Structure 1
Amino acid sequence: MPTVQYPSHAVEALLADGTTAAIRAIGPADHAAVLDLHAERMSEDSRRLRFFGTSRRAPQMTADRLCGPQRPEPLALGAWVDGELVGEADCEPAEDRPEAAELALAVADAWQHRGVGTLLIEHLVHAARERGVRRFEAAMLADNLAVRRLFADLGLPVHRRFERGEVRVVVPLEEGAEHYREAVEQRGRTADVASLAALLFPRAVAVVGASRRVGSVGQAVLLKVRGNGFTGDLWAVNPYAQQVAGEPAYQSIATLPGTPDLAVLAVPAEAVPGAAEECGLAGVRALVVLAAGLDADEARQLMHACRRHSMRLVGPNSLGIAQLDPAVRLDAEFGGAAALPGTAGVAVQSGGVGIALLGQLARLGIGVSSFVSLGDKYDVSGNDLLQWWEEDGRTDLALLHLESFGNPRAFSRTARRVTRGMPVLTVDAGRSAAGRRGAASHTAAAATPTVTREALFRQAGITATRSIAELVGTAALLHSQPLPTARGVVAVISNAGGIGILAADACAEAGLDLPVLPASTTAELLELLPEGAGASNPVDTTAAVGPAELACCIDLMTGTRAIDALLVSIVPTALGTGGEHDPLSALLDGPARRRIPVVAVLPDQEAPVRYLTCADGGRLPAYADPAAAARALAHARDRARWLAEPPTAAAVPDTADSAVAQHLAQAFLADHPQGGWLDPKQTVDLLDCYDLPLTTSIWARDEHDVLLAARTLGQLGHEGKSVLKAYWPDQLHKSAAGAVRTGLSGVDEVRAAYREFEAHFGESMAGVVVQPMAAPGLELLAGVVQDQVFGPLVMLGLGGTATDLLDDRTARLAPLTERDLTTMVTGLRSAPLLLGRPGTPQVDLAALLRVLAGLSRMATDLPQLAEADLNPLIARPGGLLCVDARVRLEPRPAFDPTCDDCVARLPPLRSECHEPQRPRRHFHRVLRRSRSRRSLRPRQRRDVHEPTRRRSHPGDGLPHHGDRDHRLPPGRAASGGA
């Protein structure tokens, strides 16, 4: 089957109804398409609104203006659907006011009110900003209600003036940026969810490649769809059979009695592109591709078919999908376990993980709202599923297994919003992957993929577990029990002292607090419990406790405000092994949900976690291992803490000279095209731009200058002493190379140290840095590293020469928020050293937070910043002082994780999957010049190893439903005439 080539250098974006449109710059080759749009595909009334009249020459003049050889290079973008131009938007700066541009817009009649106009203007806004345009101006007839509504809903401020039946509008592009971004994102979410309806709420499903062979994948999927009672039409496609598993078989998609919304392709890899094209031509809106092992050409053809025909794609290498809403009851996957209907949304990359997870959830009794095996994630991603679950009205718990990330920032923004309404849990896959080898600084060495993923999860409020068992155990708690308070104070009750001690140890190891209970509570417990019981914490009820006494004890503990969670560990004894004497009945006879979460630990049960059914019909999670229960409680405590802290604004340093810093970076890279380490003077100049507290330093090239600097700075040093540091280009760690001498007193010691450097390093030494000896304090490490996938990462930890040995660090993705600053400090194991202890005052925390804010700003200002290492950063009650800093720059454009072209340049990052690198496309060069922070990629669905996604939009958003058509007249001759 022939493959239709998609327009090159196009950016795919979603219209309001989920249709894919290609956005690209209009050029000379598009003259005929532009003329056809204005002359043939717009009605006479549309042309009247567009051109303020019915001139027959206007379409020709517009095509000549936008595509003619002598055109004055207007910024013009077109929207193509299935190779057909359906809309056009352009702007031209006014001759006397280059900061203002006249805006013009036209949409074919058949495509009006579907989001074409909004989509084009959103792209045009970002492109125009990069060209220095600060406002759009346009005129329209007063009865052009569609365009007036478009401007009203755009999200930017609009100033209107009515003149003689016309409306003149001015749209400032720099005002209301946050409101505009939110509006764009909301449109994107609406369109995204609309595009998934055919996948997750299909009215008809076709299984292409359904085989007569028992045990084949195609037949297994067909039988599961039928067996689960799918409410829509089900068709089998097999050109070599009349019937498959009792279902009539059709030769092709084209011969079906209707058009399926969803097609499951159970065909070999080499047949996938042709089958996808056939589905697209028939009007199918979503595909699930089960085959694995597509080569680069097959992958390209598959994506071209999906883009051209506006089909959403799950896979390839997918296990399948399930939508268990009673209105659909679709189970189109070939796993062994049958998922129960419920309210947990599940998305996995690995089919094996999906089978295991569905099986464990089914055994536990947690039902699933929808399940998607993402496979190689060519299109539909975890980000898409989070948005669907946010809107589907059924899902209240999201479970993810993601092996790779393509757009962490877009994922983080979605997750931050979704986690406010429901728990989002993930398995942190690939933790054992080796960190960056050959890292040139402590900061870079610390920024392993594990660290960056943990930073992403922590900032987004995602609960990251370390195994499927831990994921299921935590889900069991969050799905059935209330959250504890943010304190995380836990009490343990057990009818066996040894088991209680093990549970208490597990809680402490999980980071939970087990304080001694208040004296009043202890006294009440001792009155209730048998003789010999212990009532501190853990509470040992002894084996003689009866169900009634134990129930009273549990009621007392859940009623006190002294604790936030209760762990009850029960072992069977000869004193009570069933019936009314069974201590377990103390839990079962009470309510399942109380003021605080209650979990049971039953060491004799076989299942790692199961639900106990209580008298009120509710469920109580019971664990076989106290460590599993403690980890689940710790995750619940962390979620409570995250929810208790409202979102905060970005951290802004007191001073920052971004323009000077960017000039310094550009000047350095002009002299060093390959990049490299800044010399000491350049480092000082750059850090000064962000008021980062580098100690006074003097650069000296010979012995005379060294002695002169030492005489000057020695008086400033601690106890009148100086420090010498030898320097040469591409120097790694000074201390390890023996290039540091501290505590130098007097001229003789300084001279001797310098001559020792000369003898040891010879001509390779470029000079010496002379500094005053710093007073002792707590040594910290602070720095930045640009992660190729996640963007800039800010690190904080214990510093000095033992920083790698101690390995006490926290990290957050820049830009940091005010909340990030605080949690980075409190997240260190050594936080008590910073916050102060009896006899030891706290360090200057305000100064430390200013340093972190400055590093965050520097990282976001300078995409060329490969890494910065402030180590050691000496913290004292009276302030902070950095005594050594290293900065490395690399030539690179601004990294925008929401931008497809930026991410397309990146290498793959996979933890467990080994598919070959997929082909990538790039933006049209006009659009490439037009990107800003959130310009051309509204929501990126792909991971780094995947082909470029077919849907893209500025501001991480896509158009929504409503009147989005949109014929915008240019306003008189000054508008450029379209």
Structure 2
Amino acid sequence: MTDDDRPPVHALLQDGTTVCIRTPLPGDHESLHGLYEEMSPDNLRLRFFAASRRSADMAADRACATPRPGYASLLAEAQGHVVGLAEYETGEDPDTAEISISVADGLHHRGVGTLLVEHLVSAARAAGIREFTADALAENHEVLRLFADLGLRTDRHVEGPEVRCTIALDEDETYLTAVESRGRGADVASLEPLLRPDAVAVVGAGRRPGSVGRALLRHLRAGGFTRRLFAVNPSVTSVLGVPSYPSIGSLPAIPDLAVLAIPAAALPDAAEECGKAGVRALLVVTAGLDHEQARRLLDACRTHGMRLVGPNCLGVSNTDPELSLDATFAADHPRPGTAGVAVQSGGVGIALLDGLSRLGIGVSSFVSLGDKYDVSGNDMLQWWESDGITDLALLHLESFGNPRAFSRTARRVTRRMPVLTVDAGRTDAGRRAAASHTAAAATLTMTRQSLFTHAGVTATRSVGELLETAALLHAQPLPAGSRVAIVTNAGGAGVLAADACAEAGLVLPPLTPQLSDDLLAVLPDGASVANLVDVTAAVSEEQLRECVDQVVRHPCVDAVLVALVPTAVATATGDDLVRALTAGPARRARPVAVIRLEQALPIELLPAADGGTIPSYAEPDAAAGALAHAARRAAWLTRPAGTVPELSDVDTERARTVAAAFLTTHPDGGWLDPRTCAELLACYGIPQCDWAWAETEDDAVIAAERLRGPDGRVVLKAYWPGLLHKTEQHAIHLDLQGDAQVRAAFRDFETRFAGLLTGVVVQPLAPRGTELFAGVVQDEVFGPLVLFGMGGTATEVLADHAARLAPLTDHDVHDLMTSPRCAPLLFGAHGSGAADLEGLEQVLLRLSRMAGDLPQLAETDFNPVLATRGAVSVLDARVRLLPRHIQNPYLRRLR
């Protein structure tokens, strides 16, 4: 992508202000000249080493000139005014470029220069530039601090009054963390007008009962909003006791937040009016915008620097008593609490608000994202991370604008608080999965699950399961592992709980002899102290309390499930048995959950004497599922982040050359021929079975003679462009011996595939081993997804695959290799001997690297990959390239 092809993007400065980052055009000359004209002599001297207006003229000329090789520039524009310019130009060394930065007077210390440099770094890296240099006066502390704080390795060399800076453009973890930190601060600042507004105006609130605008205004007023509240309606002077004005511009104070509940056709003009008046955030509940209305609405928000929630949404809430903002049209006000909620579906939002309020967890802030033109789940995670109130994040996201950024944010946030989501849209994946090749088995579901696994997000399958899990995580400590003890006063209920635990992947370990003896000493006659612990229907409140306390304290147990059924056998009633658990502290050494089959609600939080709560479930499956989620979260928190291993023998530049050459001759992309495919794999050191290309019968015989192994047998595979499933087309001949069989096989291909066949691949017959599959699907939203599992002709039928998002870390590779059901075969099950595990790791890591290096790589199929005790080799490989440019997922930009 050339500089002039780079589309404009919008991004946030440190104070939340929106700027447009774009390539200068010839028509920008006057604006750029004005940028320098308005600079003080002191700033001109710091920029050009002299207070020279001539230098400023030349800089404007250079930026607006016809694009030329080795030069790139980007300007920052705020509400039509150029506020900064950054440029680079290469010299004799194409790997190095000199950079310069200019920022308008009055906009220093707001991050304009840093933001421009971040975008220029991304452009330079895409152009193959590895290093920036810059000269600055030693007294130019601002620009020197900018370079030092970028997060890139910077060396300084002082030469008299000047400092020579050399900046390595390695986009490593340090740099990404620095960019992420700057983005987080800017993002939170931009959300202040939305979630902590000092004044709110509802546009479209009228007298008609049942209208959405009126409902929103009523909710704001009845919810006790503590700041200034206005209605905008040209037909009335007051609505529900709230003063009304004919337009945004006529309000006595500029609102931070404007709530728009007006017809879709009126939205763009209303948004433009809000922007010109100085409104900083919009909440649009209106649905049904057409493409042009949507474009104009978002253009107005970007031009005037307004953050946007919606359209087609339920609204936003912030329950902070100092604010009491409830700009929703839900039936009830959410109870104040500590759970942050962001949803795309209004119905799901209402269910979560009601459920969290009923449970007593409450809500810190709520955003109904709707069609999510702007504010996203990623934004809300960063808000909750910073608000000092939220300790539990609940998401319902049907789509992801920037999954890579979401993953990085979620990985950071979920180490501080649980992040839960409903894995919505699971069935869409099956409909979208292509059937043409194995890698297409990577459905959208696998991609989403890989994202959640990588990010440490707890993914549930329903809103009910989300609330059940949230209740446990809110009320109880995390278990150290998956070992569960079941205590019950009714054997049948205990058996149901045991089945549920086993199905959820939890373990019921046998109790130690000492613990068993201690329990028998306090329980009624007839009690059973295997796991499960049947305390019998005759148990008393005191006996049950002592039993549970002993089990909870024992190191062989990570969590305790107590299944209770009210009986008339003993003096203890159902309430007494519950009191045996709630009379003491709610948070014990290990998590405790209750199962009460007669319970009317699916999940309740039982209040304990110390002010805490204990979760109580109506169904054993719900209790076991919540505990399993908690155990997985605990395991994720204790797991190291992992590193992406360094790889030897990788030639990225050559691989990019191969890809570019193919796309030059195939502008629409396509599947690589065997020779090009082999060349690409060789760039990454991916081991391939020996092979030869033959276009004639004689060539095939000569190749077979050279490639025959100890048993003298070879394989012939037909090839023509577009051939994907050789077995289904009967385009492969196995176990060929002697020249005569090779000739016969070649002639068979020529006869059956006349007009199609372009050649054959000749290979030695592979030895015995485990046939595996490895592949990549490059999703335009999620990025590359690496798949691994059972290979061979049955791979699609068995669908025994695992997946992880690239780039793979050492831990990701371990997960990929151990997750499929076929994994025991690799580790020597049934005495077969372990496969070459190190070689298999290398294949997956190199495949991941190839997918990361080449955004044009759309799909890759290695099937089969043969794993033996001594080696791993790709027997058949297919690669499809498409002409596309993937945006840098970590570059700061608004949607």
Q: Which TM-score applies when normalising by structure 1? A: 0.86
User: What are the equivalent positions in structure 2 for 1:806-821 lying under 5 Å apart?
Assistant: 806-821=798-813
Mapped contact 2:267–2:297 kept (Cα < 8 A): yes
C-alpha change, 1:520 and 1:875, in structure 2 (3 Å) is farther
CA distance in structure 2 between the aligned counterparts of 1:8 and 1:197, rounded to whole angstroms: 31
Q: SS of the counterpart of 2:842?
A: helix
Q: What is the match of residue 729 of structure 1?
A: 721
Which moves more between the two structures, 42-51 or 298-307? 42-51
C-alpha change, 1:520 and 1:765, in structure 2 (3 Å) is farther
What is the CA-CA distance between 1:819 and the residue it aligns to? 1.0
Q: What is the match of residue 466 of structure 2?
A: 471
C-alpha change, 1:282 and 1:70, in structure 2 (3 Å) is closer
Q: SS of the counterpart of 1:558?
A: helix
C-alpha change, 1:736 and 1:660, in structure 2 (3 Å) is same
User: What are the equivalent positions in structure 2 for 1:679-828 lying under 5 Å apart?
Assistant: 679-717=673-711, 721-745=713-737, 753-754=745-746, 756-828=748-820
C-alpha change, 1:91 and 1:677, in structure 2 (3 Å) is closer
CA distance in structure 2 between the aligned counterparts of 1:880 and 1:72, rounded to whole angstroms: 44
User: What letter corresponds to residue 883 of structure 1 in structure 2?
Assistant: L
What is the CA-CA distance between 1:128 and the residue it aligns to? 4.2
Q: 2:652 aligns with which of 648, 658, 672?
A: 658
User: What letter corresponds to residue 42 of structure 1 in structure 2?
Assistant: M
Q: 1:513 aligns with which of 497, 507, 511?
A: 507
CA distance in structure 1 between the aligned counterparts of 2:870 and 2:136, rounded to whole angstroms: 64
Mapped contact 2:46–2:136 kept (Cα < 8 A): yes
User: What are the equivalent positions in structure 2 for 1:597-676 lying under 5 Å apart?
Assistant: 597-676=591-670
Mapped contact 1:202–1:261 kept (Cα < 8 A): yes
Q: What is the match of residue 85 of structure 2?
A: 88
What is the CA-CA distance between 1:137 and the residue it aligns to? 4.5
Number of residue pairs matched?
890
User: What letter corresponds to residue 615 of structure 1 in structure 2?
Assistant: A
Q: What is the match of residue 8 of structure 2?
A: 10
CA distance in structure 2 between the aligned counterparts of 1:891 and 1:225, rounded to whole angstroms: 51
Mapped contact 1:784–1:795 kept (Cα < 8 A): yes
Which moves more between the two structures, 795-804 or 816-825? 795-804
CA distance in structure 1 between the aligned counterparts of 2:557 and 2:877, rounded to whole angstroms: 46
What is the CA-CA distance between 1:382 and the residue it aligns to? 0.6
User: What letter corresponds to residue 529 of structure 2 in structure 1?
Assistant: A
RMSD of aligned alpha carbons:
2.7
What is the CA-CA distance between 1:584 and the residue it aligns to? 2.2
Mapped contact 1:865–1:889 kept (Cα < 8 A): yes
C-alpha change, 1:401 and 1:722, in structure 2 (3 Å) is same
Q: What is the match of residue 973 of structure 1?
A: none
What is the CA-CA distance between 1:705 and the residue it aligns to? 4.3
Q: What is the match of residue 118 of structure 2?
A: 122
Q: What is the match of residue 282 of structure 1?
A: 277
**1:229 and 2:224 matched:** yes
CA distance in structure 2 between the aligned counterparts of 1:273 and 1:544, rounded to whole angstroms: 71
CA distance in structure 2 between the aligned counterparts of 1:500 and 1:827, rounded to whole angstroms: 30
What is the CA-CA distance between 1:729 and the residue it aligns to? 2.9
Q: 2:853 aligns with which of 861, 877, 880?
A: 861
CA distance in structure 1 between the aligned counterparts of 2:171 and 2:377, rounded to whole angstroms: 30
Deviations 1:4-50 (A, max 9, x none): xxx995321211111111122223322221222222x2234433444
Q: SS of the counterpart of 1:109?
A: coil
Q: What is the match of residue 875 of structure 2?
A: 883
CA distance in structure 1 between the aligned counterparts of 2:874 and 2:32, rounded to whole angstroms: 61
User: What are the equivalent positions in structure 2 for 1:474-553 lying under 5 Å apart?
Assistant: 474-485=469-480, 487-553=481-547
Mapped contact 1:102–1:137 kept (Cα < 8 A): yes
Q: SS of the counterpart of 1:254?
A: helix
User: What are the equivalent positions in structure 2 for 1:180-219 lying under 5 Å apart?
Assistant: 180-219=175-214
Which moves more between the two structures, 546-555 or 63-72? 63-72
Q: What is the match of residue 965 of structure 1?
A: none
What is the CA-CA distance between 1:609 and the residue it aligns to? 0.5
Deviations 1:449-470 (A, max 9, x none): 1111111111111111100001
Q: 1:570 aligns with which of 564, 568, 587?
A: 564
What is the CA-CA distance between 1:316 and the residue it aligns to? 0.6
Deviations 1:244-285 (A, max 9, x none): 112221122222221111111111111111221121122111
C-alpha change, 1:592 and 1:671, in structure 2 (3 Å) is same
Q: What is the match of residue 955 of structure 1?
A: none
Mapped contact 1:790–1:897 kept (Cα < 8 A): no
What is the CA-CA distance between 1:207 and the residue it aligns to? 1.1
User: What letter corresponds to residue 23 of structure 2 in structure 1?
Assistant: A
What is the CA-CA distance between 1:72 and the residue it aligns to? 10
Deviations 1:178-199 (A, max 9, x none): 4333222211111111111111
Which moves more between the two structures, 559-568 or 463-472? 559-568
**1:169 and 2:123 matched:** no
Q: What is the match of residue 106 of structure 1?
A: 102
What is the CA-CA distance between 1:390 and the residue it aligns to? 1.1
CA distance in structure 1 between the aligned counterparts of 2:127 and 2:33, rounded to whole angstroms: 26
Q: SS of the counterpart of 1:455?
A: helix
C-alpha change, 1:714 and 1:161, in structure 2 (3 Å) is closer
C-alpha change, 1:355 and 1:70, in structure 2 (3 Å) is closer
Deviations 1:395-449 (A, max 9, x none): 11110000011211111111111111111111111111134354321121x1111
**1:391 and 2:389 matched:** no
Q: What is the match of residue 150 of structure 1?
A: 146
User: What letter corresponds to residue 110 of structure 2 in structure 1?
Assistant: R
Which moves more between the two structures, 74-83 or 243-252? 74-83
C-alpha change, 1:282 and 1:651, in structure 2 (3 Å) is same
C-alpha change, 1:797 and 1:314, in structure 2 (3 Å) is same
What is the CA-CA distance between 1:353 and the residue it aligns to? 1.0
CA distance in structure 2 between the aligned counterparts of 1:792 and 1:308, rounded to whole angstroms: 33
C-alpha change, 1:590 and 1:840, in structure 2 (3 Å) is farther
Q: 1:420 aligns with which of 415, 423, 431?
A: 415
Deviations 1:549-589 (A, max 9, x none): 22222112111111211111111112247559832222122
Q: What is the match of residue 442 of structure 1?
A: 438
Mapped contact 2:719–2:757 kept (Cα < 8 A): yes
C-alpha change, 1:248 and 1:679, in structure 2 (3 Å) is closer
Q: What is the match of residue 318 of structure 2?
A: 323
Identity of aligned residues (%): 56
What is the CA-CA distance between 1:345 and the residue it aligns to? 0.7
Q: What is the match of residue 395 of structure 2?
A: 400
Mapped contact 1:157–1:176 kept (Cα < 8 A): no
What is the CA-CA distance between 1:709 and the residue it aligns to? 4.4
Q: What is the match of residue 373 of structure 2?
A: 378
Q: What is the match of residue 26 of structure 1?
A: 24
CA distance in structure 2 between the aligned counterparts of 1:775 and 1:236, rounded to whole angstroms: 79
CA distance in structure 2 between the aligned counterparts of 1:710 and 1:47, rounded to whole angstroms: 74
Q: Which TM-score applies when normalising by structure 2? A: 0.94
CA distance in structure 2 between the aligned counterparts of 1:308 and 1:630, rounded to whole angstroms: 51
**1:260 and 2:255 matched:** yes
What is the CA-CA distance between 1:59 and the residue it aligns to? 4.2
Q: SS of the counterpart of 2:274?
A: helix
C-alpha change, 1:90 and 1:587, in structure 2 (3 Å) is same
What is the CA-CA distance between 1:691 and the residue it aligns to? 3.1
What is the CA-CA distance between 1:636 and the residue it aligns to? 0.9
Mapped contact 2:121–2:169 kept (Cα < 8 A): no
Mapped contact 1:12–1:22 kept (Cα < 8 A): yes
Unaligned stretches of 5+ residues in structure 1: 1-6, 899-933, 941-948, 950-978
C-alpha change, 1:758 and 1:91, in structure 2 (3 Å) is closer
Q: Using CA pairs under 8 Å that are at least 6 residues apart, name the structure with larger relative contact order, 1 or 2.
A: 1
C-alpha change, 1:355 and 1:305, in structure 2 (3 Å) is same
